[in-house]
Amino acid sequence: MLKFALVALLPELVRPVTGHGVVGRAFARGLAALSCHDPREQATDRHRTVDDRPYGGGPGMVLKYAPMAAAIREADAALPAGSRRVVLAAHGRRFDQALAAELAAAPGVLLVAGRYEGMDERLVDAFGLEPVSLGDYVLSGGELAAAVIIDACVRLLPGALGDEDSAAQDSFAGGLLDCPHYTRPEVIEGREVPQVLLGGDHAAVRHWRMRASLARTLAWRPELLAGRTLDAEQRALLEEVRREAEASRMDHGMQGPRRPAGEDDEQAD
């Protein structure tokens, strides 16, 4: 079981992730568990104060050391030895599929969510917290970031997904973006499903999907291809896709990457 312990002022923003969809089912089946630890309950004054003005002045408030530390200690006690200790922070290591896999492989994960201008920095040192960011934008609090991390980790747990292969085929799992997907009907408002997907030729479908995956990665996230080891088939397909993209750029007199067909309707021409 993967145990999460959350330190947050607004745990109600995180709990719903444990009750819905595949992740909810994983929690219900005991593959993961979440305990919540509210620093406000650790505050000792009449008003249950958890924040104070920043030293040095400036706008906003800062989460105080003492109630946060007490909540972290309580959360830590709910986790097995060897658990990872994450603090959600805009400046941290960017959360990605590799980090999701690392955290999912740990016995437990402490998630410390900030609010206001953040928390007293001494907590990071005192508890050996690893700053993790969801991306280059600022959230009002770390709770939604914690919910995202829980979701991404739990779906990687063995037995969490109905089809064991589906996590392995997701975007980023193999270092590439996922290919496009289609379902019935075959034609909708004149838009057709690629013919190869209808023919039942599994090798052709696999080949098409690999090519589409490479084309999508080249168009949207070319940096994922840099430094990635491709097999001979992938190298040949990527070369083909590159030539096609180049030809299409020439045709359209465009600068920069062109999205694969079907993904650039708004940008095209």
Residues that bind ligand SAM (CB under 6 A): 88-91, 113-115, 117-118, 133-135, 137-142, 145
Q: What are phi and psi of 5, to 5 degrees?
A: -125, 125
CB of 80 to ligand SAM, least distance (A): 24
CB of 172 to ligand SAM, least distance (A): 18
Q: Which residues, at least 6 apart from 84, have a Cβ–Cβ distance to it below 8 Å?
A: 102, 103, 106, 108, 109, 110, 130
Bridge partners (DSSP) listed for residue 165 = none
CB of 146 to ligand SAM, least distance (A): 8
Q: Which is nearer to ligand SAM, 108 or 114 (CB)?
A: 114
CB of 121 to ligand SAM, least distance (A): 11
Cα–Cα distance, 35 to 41 (Å, whole number): 14
Q: What are phi and psi of 25, to 5 degrees?
A: -65, -35
Q: Which is nearer to ligand SAM, 132 or 156 (CB)?
A: 132
SS3 content of the chain, % helix, strand, coil (to 5): 40, 15, 45
Q: Which is nearer to ligand SAM, 60 or 199 (CB)?
A: 60
Bridge partners (DSSP) listed for residue 187 = 192
How far from 142 is each of 16, 60, 69, 126, CA to CA, in Å? 15, 16, 16, 19
CB of 147 to ligand SAM, least distance (A): 11
CB of 7 to ligand SAM, least distance (A): 10
Q: Which is nearer to ligand SAM, 7 or 161 (CB)?
A: 7
Which residue's Cβ lies closest to ligand SAM?
Answer: 114
CA atoms within 13 A on the CB side of 129: 30
Q: Which is nearer to ligand SAM, 14 or 161 (CB)?
A: 14
Q: Residue 234: which H helix or E strand, with range?
A: helix 232-252
Q: What are phi and psi of 71, to 5 degrees?
A: -70, -35
Q: Which is nearer to ligand SAM, 93 or 206 (CB)?
A: 93
Q: Which is nearer to ligand SAM, 145 or 212 (CB)?
A: 145
CB of 37 to ligand SAM, least distance (A): 15
